[in-house]
């Protein structure tokens, strides 16, 4: 049993180290659902260019902000951001666009502005047809570093629950993530700062095909509970086959010990 316990602990550590890098899932896109001729294809992310208007207000409780904007999607990518998917119809036969709004609070540390979203609503359109929308904010942050009196630059990472509308996107999408870089130009009026942000980023999806191993949450390593997060299906297969092999070796060892007594 000690051998099996150690094997499980090591496997859990390996899973927790590798899982976060595998967030983006492969999805199916079907242009025929909006009346376009292209065949269905697979993609792992979509490029995005955007602009947004943002206001920050200084209050007794800190700095609050609200934001509204939109953008257009550039290319589908698979399996990574360096590989463009061809013959998708975008932007030759149709355009993909997004509109969004959000709000939250800002913390200032010298020239660094860190925004934390408490709401973010997103809608995705193929031409004028709604094909997907957010179902709630999961997490969202943005960081800007001021380099002049009116300019700052930084990055953003926003994750939301996501639901398809119609059949343009595959049905197993559960979450969507926006990552990217932005530039900010700001003017002030009294106690309010008004900014215009422009930037580019990546729009990717999570399908929920990888589930946490909640039944093994009681495993420990060195007295501390093992961290278990979203292993990929292939990882589960390897883990299962590896544990099965150790179980067979353990049974053989016990059989040999009994026979030698």
Q: Which residue has the higher pLDDT, 62 or 219?
A: 62
Amino acid 259: pLDDT = 60
Alpha-carbon span 78 to 63, nearest angstrom? 40
User: pTM value?
Assistant: 0.72
What pLDDT, in 10s, does the model give residues 83-115?
Answer: 999 999 999 999 999 999 999 999 999 999 999
Amino acid 188: pLDDT = 87
Q: What is the DSSP string of the chain?
A: -HHHHHHHHHHHHHHHHHGGGG----EEE-GGGGT--PPPEEESEEEEEEEEEEEEEEETTEEEEEEEEEEEEEEEESSSTT-BPPSS-TTTT--EEEEEEEEEEEEEETTEEEEEEEEEEEEEEETTEEEEEEEEEEEEEEEEEE-SSSEEEEEEEEEEEEEE-TTSB-TT--EEEEEEEEEEEEEEETTEEEEEEEEEEEEEEE---S---GGGTT-EETTEEPP-----HHHHHHHHHHHHHHHHHHHHHHHHHHHH-
Q: Which residue has the higher pLDDT, 170 or 233?
A: 170
Using CB atoms within 10 A of its CB, is residue 141 exposed (0-12), middle (13-18) or buried (19+)?
middle
What pLDDT, in 10s, does the model give residues 170-218?
Answer: 999 999 999 999 999 999 887 789 999 999 999 999 998 543 433 344 4
Amino acid 166: pLDDT = 97
Amino acid 97: pLDDT = 97
Nearest partner of 113 among 75, 151, 81, judged by Cα: 151
Q: Which residue has the higher pLDDT, 238 or 141?
A: 141
């Amino acid at each position: 049993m000690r051998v099996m316990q150690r094997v499980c602990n090591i496997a859990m550590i390996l899973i927790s180290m590798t899982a976060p890098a595998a967030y983006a899932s492969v999805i199916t896109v079907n242009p025929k659902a909006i009346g376009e001729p292209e065949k269905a294809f697979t993609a792992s992310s979509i490029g995005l260019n955007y602009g947004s208007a943002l206001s920050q207000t200084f209050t007794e409780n800190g700095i609050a902000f609200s934001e509204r904007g939109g953008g257009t999607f550039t290319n589908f990518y698979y399996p990574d951001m360096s590989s463009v998917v061809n013959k998708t119809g975008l932007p030759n036969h149709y355009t993909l666009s997004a509109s969004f709004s959000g709000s939250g609070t800002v913390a200032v540390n010298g020239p660094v502005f860190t925004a934390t979203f408490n709401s973010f609503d997103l809608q995705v359109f193929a031409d004028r047809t709604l094909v997907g929308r957010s179902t709630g904010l999961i997490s969202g942050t943005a960081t800007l570093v001021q380099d002049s009196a009116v300019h700052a630059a930084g990055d953003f990472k926003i994750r939301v629950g996501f639901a398809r509308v119609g059949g343009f996107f595959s049905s197993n999408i559960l979450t969507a993530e926006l990552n990217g870089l932005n530039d900010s130009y700001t003017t002030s009026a009294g106690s309010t700062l008004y900014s215009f942000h422009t930037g580019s980023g990546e729009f990717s999806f999570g399908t929920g095909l990888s589930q946490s191993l909640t039944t093994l949450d009681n495993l420990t390593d060195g007295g501390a509970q093992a961290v278990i997060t979203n292993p990929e299906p292939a990882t589960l297969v390897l883990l299962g086959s590896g544990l099965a092999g150790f179980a067979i070796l353990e049974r053989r060892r016990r059989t040999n010990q009994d026979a030698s007594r």
